[in-house]
Structure 1
């Protein structure tokens, strides 16, 4: 949330240059709408892959359910909707599982960059303003040199530190939210929203993925499932 707060302060500072309160309000509203809605399709795509992955890995789903129940407030109703940021912050294993899903199926499967001046890459290749560099985050997420020989496995534990928190991974290895000065300012907001949806769904519903589906990524700027995901939903509290 600190990054988002800093981003909004920057927007206010820039928008307030003309001294007009009306201009400040309009600029702030426009940028808030960008922060909230720019991640709509990306969050939806990632959650689709996430529910498919945990359906293939019931041990992971059970660990998420246990974590949710352990951190549920004593006075919470069985049909609980997760919306409290502090409450969501306790769901470390769920955060790890979402990160792992994002590693295997990054919603932005590639990034395109153009140098603003001549440079030499670490590989020794010379680039200039006419060079287009494509970074494939999908391939990087499945690279054994970065993630180990088990890189194709869905393993949320790889994101957990020895102290039980979230392990820091350098953004140049995990490009889901870009890297450096181009890092997505809505990263924390995206995780809060996805954790809220995932926790509420898993706590309140059984999501049963139907067999016999052809699960393949679409060829597009956002890594969605080409044929969608068919599932049956039933309440846990009937």
Structure 2
């Protein structure tokens, strides 16, 4: 399941559930880069564009490449949660992260065992909409065929 874990992580790198994440400052503070924030400030970080930054992920940052998460032995190697922010980081890291991965693996393995999938209209370009959560504009219409 190492490759499946890498594929799910790569999907979340490129298409995080929460494409932007605002944080409200309850007290004056200093960010890790030295920037000062004041009580009442609203600070945003944006996992969607962060997952495409070439200086973080390399020249192939726009490419779906699950192998970037695997070592030479095919074992999954996690990145810093401050680089891969789909589950946040630090004291606010998602408590359900491991459960979420387990759930995604069970659903993916079950669906892929029983079905093959194709886009219903292969000529239609899939576009996303950035809202509170990342959404596929117009939905993703698939054809599922028994294996």
What band does the TM-score fall into relative to the shorter chain?
over 0.9
2:62 to 152, 170, 183: 152
Rounded Cα–Cα distance in structure 2 between residues aligned with 1:181 and 1:127: 18
* Corresponding residue number in structure 2 for 1:230: 141
Give the gaps of 5 or more residues in structure 1. 1-90
1:221 to 129, 132, 143: 132
Other structure's SS at 1:154 match: coil
Give the gaps of 5 or more residues in structure 2. none
Structure ID, larger Rg: 1
Going from structure 1 to structure 2, the CA distance change for 1:122 and 1:182 (only over 3 Å counts) comes to: closer
Deviation at 1:180, TM superposition (A): 0.7
* Corresponding residue number in structure 2 for 1:162: 72
Segments of 4+ moved more than 4 angstroms: none
2:29 to 119, 122, 131: 119
Deviation at 1:214, TM superposition (A): 3.5
Deviation at 1:124, TM superposition (A): 4.0
The answer to whether the 8 Å contact 1:113/1:133 transfers is yes
The answer to whether the 8 Å contact 1:214/1:227 transfers is no
The structure where helix makes up a greater share of residues is: 1
Rounded Cα–Cα distance in structure 1 between residues aligned with 2:35 and 2:66: 36
Rounded Cα–Cα distance in structure 2 between residues aligned with 1:142 and 1:199: 27
User: RMSD over aligned Cα, in angstroms?
Assistant: 1.3
Rounded Cα–Cα distance in structure 1 between residues aligned with 2:20 and 2:30: 21
2:115 to 205, 208, 232: 205
Per-residue CA shift, 1:33-79, capped at 9, x if unaligned? Answer: xxxxxxxxxxxxxxxxxxxxxxxxxxxxxxxxxxxxxxxxxxxxxxx
Other structure's SS at 1:221 match: coil
The answer to whether the 8 Å contact 1:109/1:137 transfers is yes
Per-residue CA shift, 1:55-112, capped at 9, x if unaligned? Answer: xxxxxxxxxxxxxxxxxxxxxxxxxxxxxxxxxxxx1101100100100000110111
The answer to whether the 8 Å contact 1:207/1:234 transfers is yes
TM-score w.r.t. the length of structure 2 is: 0.93
Deviation at 1:114, TM superposition (A): 2.0
